[in-house]
């Protein structure tokens, strides 16, 4: 932990950094603890839309100047919005860190939100929305979380709705930005050949945003009613997710479920991959997943197959779930799963961007910087007994929702 530093500035901004002496580059991220979870039915999609608009220029720089200034020094800028966070990040050579920091801080704090920019970008974002609608592999995950998180703002899609996107204007964008982009809502994370003191000095110099902020208006997820949902689309394959709400970052049982999920359906050695694809040849895609938020996760099993195999694949999935509930996992298999998780985690840390993301998400989700060694110990501590206990808690068929996207023609035939 000697290369990690964390400083809380007087205005509430948290600065976390990791000095890596053997690289010549950096990854810098500005993380705001705000996302689609902090929206309402009338402005759903505004966090993602603001992410787009912050690249459209400031009083000092046009959109073209922002990209030219970064790309002319071999750098890279991008951003993403999730349900709980919005991140603006840059990569580059260490000697260009100050310039990258300056440009990003200007973008974030001084957006123009000009009406003609908004009108043009709304068309771009609506096209992005239609791309999701046309892609069942993406759409089904939105429909899944819409179903299992019903009654909570976590059910909202990140991109929003066409109706909302088309009515965003300078006034409501400025208001949301001023409300959510506050200093107590910001984590600045840096990984690479950059000294912590330099990051702190730049943050003190370039950030003058208001101090007061609270995310207290976030409604904690409680529960929802399991249900089956079918969506008709003009497609060839059947796409399905079977799953439920699960443990969030604030629950110590989440790591047990993460190990269980990996054993069940992550990687080509997993039980579902072997049972459905390798032995039966019934699907190209099948995997389990755990999308986690602070107080809840979305656990599920996703697969796509053709119509004639859909019922059979569904039966095999539940057969594998019941096996995990009834029989203890052998130590050899459990060891393989743990090594798979640890190996993937450590390999991901060869990227400064992944290291930066890990630090920021650790602060945002756990309130502290969790060492990699501690995470490895948590994984290693999961027992075969934990797996069977977790499986029995999570795999009650009456508690599972099923989301299906299939051809309308096939749905009619099946009903007949």
Residues that are catalytic: 51
Strand partners, 191: 18, 27
Give the whole-angstrom CA distance, residue 403 versus residue 224. Answer: 15
Strand partners, 87: 31, 80
Backbone angles phi, psi at 161, to 5 degrees: -120, 155
Nearest to 362 by CA among 31, 36, 35, 47: 31
Cβ atoms of 118 and 169 within 8 Å: the answer is: yes
Q: Which two tokens stand for residue 179?
A: 């409300």
Give the whole-angstrom CA distance, residue 280 versus residue 320. Answer: 14
Give the whole-angstrom CA distance, residue 29 versus residue 87. Answer: 6
């Amino acid at each position: 932990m000697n290369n990690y530093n964390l400083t809380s500035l007087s205005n509430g901004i948290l600065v976390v950094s990791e000095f890596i002496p053997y690289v010549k580059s950096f990854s810098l991220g500005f993380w705001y603890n705000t996302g689609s979870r902090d929206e309402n039915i009338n402005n759903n999609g505004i966090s993602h839309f603001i992410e787009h608009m912050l690249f459209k220029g400031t009083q000092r720089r046009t959109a073209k100047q922002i990209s030219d200034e970064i790309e002319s020094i071999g750098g890279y800028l991008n951003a993403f919005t999730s349900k709980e966070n919005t991140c603006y990040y840059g990569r580059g050579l260490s000697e260009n860190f100050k310039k990258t920091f300056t440009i990003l801080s200007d973008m974030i704090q001084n957006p123009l939100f000009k009406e003609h920019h908004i009108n043009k970008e709304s068309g771009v974002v609506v096209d992005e929305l239609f791309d999701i609608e046309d892609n069942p592999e993406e759409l089904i995950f939105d429909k899944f979380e819409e179903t299992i998180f019903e009654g909570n703002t976590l059910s909202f899609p990140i991109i929003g709705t066409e109706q909302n996107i088309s009515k965003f204007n300078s006034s409501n964008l400025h208001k949301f930005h001023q409300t959510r982009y506050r200093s107590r809502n910001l984590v600045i994370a840096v990984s690479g050949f950059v000294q912590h003191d330099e990051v702190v000095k730049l943050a003190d110099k370039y950030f003058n945003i208001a101090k007061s902020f609270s995310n207290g208006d976030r409604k904690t997820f409680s529960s929802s009613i399991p249900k089956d949902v079918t969506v008709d689309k003009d497609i060839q394959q059947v796409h399905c997710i079977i799953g439920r709400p699960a443990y969030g970052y604030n629950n110590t049982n989440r790591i047990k479920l993460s190990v269980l999920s990996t054993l069940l359906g992550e990687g080509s050695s997993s039980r579902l991959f072997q049972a459905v694809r390798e032995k039966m040849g019934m699907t190209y895609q099948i995997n389990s997943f755990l999308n986690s938020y602070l107080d809840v996760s979305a656990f599920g099993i996703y697969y796509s197959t053709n119509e004639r195999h859909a019922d059979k694949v569904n039966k095999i999935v539940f057969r594998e779930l019941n096996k995990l509930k009834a029989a203890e996992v052998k130590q050899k298999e459990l060891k393989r799963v743990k090594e798979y998780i640890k190996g993937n985690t450590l390999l991901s840390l060869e990227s400064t961007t992944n290291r930066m993301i890990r630090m920021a998400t650790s602060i945002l989700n756990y309130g502290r910087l969790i060492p990699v060694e501690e995470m490895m110990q948590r994984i290693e501590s999961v027992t075969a007994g934990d797996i069977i206990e977790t499986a029995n808690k999570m795999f009650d068929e009456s508690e599972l929702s099923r989301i299906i996207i299939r051809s309308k023609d096939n749905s009619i035939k099946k009903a007949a």
